[in-house]
Structure formats: C-alpha cells, structure tokens
Structure 1
Amino acid sequence: MTASLAVIFAGILHAIWNAIAKGGADRWASFALIGVGQSLVILPLVPFVAPPAPAAWPWLIASLLVHLAYLGLLLKSYGLGDFSQVYPLARGSAPLLVTLVAAVALGERPSWTQLAGVLAVCGGLAVLALAGAREVDDRAVAAALLTGVSIAAYTILDGIGVRDAGGAASYIVWLFALEAPLTVVLIYAIRGRASLLERLDRRQCALGLGGGLIAMAAYGIVLWAQTRGTMASVAALRETGVISGAIIGAVFFAERMGVRRVAAACVVAAGVVLITAH
C-alpha cells in the first residue's frame, strides 16, 4: 500500500513538472533548466554512491538514450497540442504497452479485471483525442502516442535495470547523473546559449530549476517502486496523474475541457487503476 500511494503521488508530481515545461516562454529553455536543476542536486552525490552492478549498465545506457528521445518527442507534442489533450494521451498509452509487453515477453497474463482496465483506458484515450477541440491535429495525436511508446520503453528498461543494479539508490543517482547534464549539453548544442536565455526572466528560471527537482523526485519514486511491484502495476498507477494533468490544463492554461474530456480523464485514471488489480 505504501508503494502504491507513493507512485500515485509521483504521478501528481509528474503532471506538475510537465506543466512547468509546457508553460515556459521557451520550452527548450525550460527543459534545459530542468536538467540544470537536476545536475546541481545529483552530481555532488555521485562520489558517495557506488555504481550500479555491471548487469544493470546495458539497461541503464539503453534507458538513457530512450529518455533523450522521449524529451524530444515531448517537446514536439507540447508544441502541437493542448496540455490537457497531449499529456493524457502520452501518459495513458504507456501502461497499455507495458502491460502488452509484460504479457507477451514476461508471461504476466492480465486478469479479467486488468483487461477491463485496458479497455477503459482505450475508450478514455479515444475521447481525449477527439473531445474539447474544434479540430483534432493528427500530428499532435501521433506525437503524443509516440511519446507514450518511449515512456513504455524506458519504463521496461528501467524496471529491469533497477532490479539488476544491486540497489535502487545507485541506479537512480547514476541515471540522473548521466541524463541531466547530457540533456543540457544537447539543448545547448541545438539552440545555443543566447537563444536559450534571451526570453527567460528570474521567475521562469526558478520554475525551471524547481521543475527539475520535482521531475527527479517523481521518477525516483517510480524506480524505487519498481523494485517492489510488477512493471505493469507501477506504470499504470503512475498514470493516475492524467487527472492532475487535465485539471492543470484547464486551470492554468485556460484550455477547454468540457464534461466529456473531464469524464474521459477520469475513465483513463480508473482504467489504469483496474490494470493493477490482482
């Protein structure tokens, strides 16, 4: 129960840092600042944390590459669609893929209750993709679903890697110690220092740095939970954050929600909870 509640809380944190990234005047700069905030906290810890066991490194490196692809897809998604549409699509599609891979590759067959959850998620996602907008941007939907694929991929890779690492703390610290600085370097190489900073004020810098800490806490909780439960269950519980994402989109971004989109977000959340049933 403690792990489940922690993962639900992680889902709320994840929605918050995504809203910070989406709401920045320059999303590239927001993601760079998130990486800076993570680097400032995590790099001083590296000398005090043993590296993960050798068996975990292939999974960690593969996850690192997928995480970088995920950030690029997320940037593209937020540039094309509403937060309250893109966020639930990206997050809600991931546990479906994790459940499918777990069933096919790992032999984790879903129960009838879990299958009902899968169907609920599919129905809710269909409504979220179509409701609340006069026109549906197919590019935004495609980018969000590809983001979901990347989420499922790194969830599976990290789920295996953290169990082989010899300790969750070791895997968490070294993953962020590699990912955070590399994210900053890549964005700097793509955009340049001037273009990243020219439109940022002190408030946006503080939000970006704070968002990095929130993002790190959110995924750190998930990695810890993956050592105590199945990947499909953790992935599904985490995505209850889609409700928070829908509320944030309506309240802070003045996005049109409507009764159908609110109901759909709740159906998606109920579905991912059903997926965790045993």
Structure 2
Amino acid sequence: MLSYTSGIVLFAAMLHASWNAMLHGNRDRFFSMTWMSIAIAAVSTLIALSTPWPTRAAWPYIGASGLVHVLYNVSLVRSYRHNDLARAYPIARGSSPLLVTLGAALFAHEAIGPLHALGVVMISGGIIAIALQGRQVSRAGTLAALTTGATIALYTVIDGIGVRLSDGRSLTYTAWMFLFYWLMPLLFVATRGFAPLWTPVRAEPLSIGSSLVGGLVSIAAYGIVIWAMQSGAMGAVSALRETSVVFAVLIGRVFLRETVSAKRWLACVVVAAGAVCLGL
C-alpha cells in the first residue's frame, strides 16, 4: 500500500503532466510559458510577503534553484519545438531520477534501500523505453530534451538540500525560489518586445487563461515535491514524481490525439510498478 507521502507526490505527478500538456497544447510555447511564469511569480510574491523569511542557510539554494528553473523553462520550450508531448516529455523526465539519486548521494550523503533503488531503475528505464519507441527523435530534439533533464536533476538536488536547511519552512522556501520566475517576462520582452506579450490579452483571452491556470497547477505540483523532500530521499521522490510521464501519455492520447502503441503502454506499466516499489 502506498504511503501518504507517496500518494501526495503521485498527485503532484498528475498535476505536473497536466501543466505540461497545457504548455504543449498552445501554439506559442514561449508566450505560454511566460504567462505561466507571471502567474507563478505573482502568487509567490503574495506568499513571500505573508510568511516568515527563509533561514540564512537556505538563501544560496533559493538563488541557485531560481536561476536553474529559468534555464529549465527555456530548455523545456525548446524541447517542445522538436517533439510531441508523448516523446519529448519522457526523455526529459526519464533522464533525471538516476542523476538526482547520484547527486543526492554525492552532495547530501543519501542512501536508499534495494527496493527503492529497484523502483528508481524501473521508473527511469520505463520512461526511457517510452521515449525511444516509435519514430526516431531528431538530434536537436534529443539534445534539447536531455538538457532539460539535466536541469531537472540539478534544481531537484539543490531544492532537496535547500529545503532541509529551511527549518521546516517549505512554503516559504518554495515562494522565494519561484520569485525568480519574474525573469521570464523580462526575458520575453527583451527578445520580442512588450506588445507581443500584452496585445493578446484581449485578442486571445482563452490562451492567456489556460496559461495562468497552468502556472497555478505548476506551483502546486512542485511545491508538493519540495515539501516531500524535507524528509524523503531525493532520488525516490524525484522518481515517483516522474511517473507523471504515464499521465502525460494518457493526456497525449485522450486530449491531443497522439498515438500510443502497445509497447508504450507496457512501459507505462513498468513505471507504475516502480512507483509501487517506492511507495512500499
């Protein structure tokens, strides 16, 4: 039976897949990611102003993670230019759990038991199997997705260490880290100008609305993960979160009309079995 924490992280996985589907479903992903970031940063500002300040020890990790998250957003947008959701998403997510486990062992001196190690391997292996099925992925798309995976592993390890130095203030830590998302609209305006960001507010309100909702879903999803890493092993929490790829495949099939083969469904089962190992 899955533990309470594992069940909450699985819920976060579903939320994570949902906001990625919202991002992928929009025509201009950079524009959509920018409005998602505005929603995230605005909510984080309100939380940061109404909660205690982060501990001194957590500040370096908040800054480092915030900058890596901005890099992640740009990399994610790029990866979706080359692949459909059911292909780009698994490559990016599947390459991170093993890297997180290694990083946690090196920098946080974490060790996980054999059953949890098996779960991490099953989830990563199943996700990579999902990604490699079907038509060949372009070199540019693969590179973009792998870069995204590396940034995921980097910010996960940073946040796993940082939140443990926050004296139990995971909400405060999350809010201050997400304040760096104000850099996304600045980056958009610097590259495209202010008019392309503001003009669609009246012309495409539904697109703006879906992006704002996606941002709120995103902050909830990762906030849960940061909360879980206060006491849970980073590699295990990361791998459990990456079961979101199963939800992404389902969303891609049902809502985006993407083809899902029998082998891909089988790989999803392997991922789900790995999640059970982590939850025991």
TM-score by length of 2: 0.90
| 1:101 Cα deviation from its structure 2 partner | 2.1
**Residues 152-194 of structure 1: per-residue CA shift (max 9 Å, x gap):** 1101101111111221121112112x22212221222222233
The match for 1:237 is 240
The match for 1:153 is 154
The match for 1:103 is 105
Q: Is the CA contact (8 Å cut-off) linking 1:242 and 1:269 kept in structure 2? A: no
Change in CA separation of 1:216 and 1:119 when aligned onto 2, cut-off 3 Å: closer
The match for 1:201 is 204
Q: Percent identity?
A: 41
Map 1:44-55 → 2, pairs under 5 A: 44-55=46-57
TM-score by length of 1: 0.91
Amino acid at match of 1:137: S
Change in CA separation of 1:23 and 1:187 when aligned onto 2, cut-off 3 Å: same
- Counting matched residue pairs gives 275
The match for 1:36 is 38
Change in CA separation of 1:104 and 1:172 when aligned onto 2, cut-off 3 Å: closer
| CA distance in 2 between partners of 1:211 and 1:118 (Å) | 27
| CA distance in 2 between partners of 1:235 and 1:171 (Å) | 18
Change in CA separation of 1:52 and 1:207 when aligned onto 2, cut-off 3 Å: same
Map 1:117-156 → 2, pairs under 5 A: 117-133=119-135, 135-156=136-157
The match for 1:18 is 20
| CA distance in 2 between partners of 1:16 and 1:152 (Å) | 20
Q: Is the CA contact (8 Å cut-off) linking 1:90 and 1:147 kept in structure 2? A: yes
| 1:224 Cα deviation from its structure 2 partner | 1.1
Local SS of the residue matching 1:266: helix
Q: Is the CA contact (8 Å cut-off) linking 1:3 and 1:228 kept in structure 2? A: no
The match for 1:60 is 62
| 1:118 Cα deviation from its structure 2 partner | 4.2
Q: Is the CA contact (8 Å cut-off) linking 1:239 and 1:269 kept in structure 2? A: no
The match for 1:76 is 78
| CA distance in 2 between partners of 1:47 and 1:107 (Å) | 34
| 1:228 Cα deviation from its structure 2 partner | 2.5
Change in CA separation of 1:106 and 1:173 when aligned onto 2, cut-off 3 Å: closer
RMSD: 2.0
Q: Which moved more, 1:122-131 or 1:49-58?
A: 122-131
The match for 1:221 is 224
Q: Is the CA contact (8 Å cut-off) linking 2:123 and 2:243 kept in structure 1? A: no
Change in CA separation of 1:37 and 1:264 when aligned onto 2, cut-off 3 Å: same
Which residue of the other structure, out of 269, 273, 276, is the alignment partner of 1:270? 273
Change in CA separation of 1:8 and 1:277 when aligned onto 2, cut-off 3 Å: closer
Local SS of the residue matching 2:141: helix
| CA distance in 1 between partners of 2:118 and 2:41 (Å) | 41
Which residue of the other structure, out of 249, 259, 262, is the alignment partner of 1:259? 262
**Residues 56-107 of structure 1: per-residue CA shift (max 9 Å, x gap):** 1111111111111111110111111110011122112211111122234444
Q: Is the CA contact (8 Å cut-off) linking 1:129 and 1:141 kept in structure 2? A: no
Amino acid at match of 2:60: P
Local SS of the residue matching 2:81: helix
| 1:209 Cα deviation from its structure 2 partner | 0.7
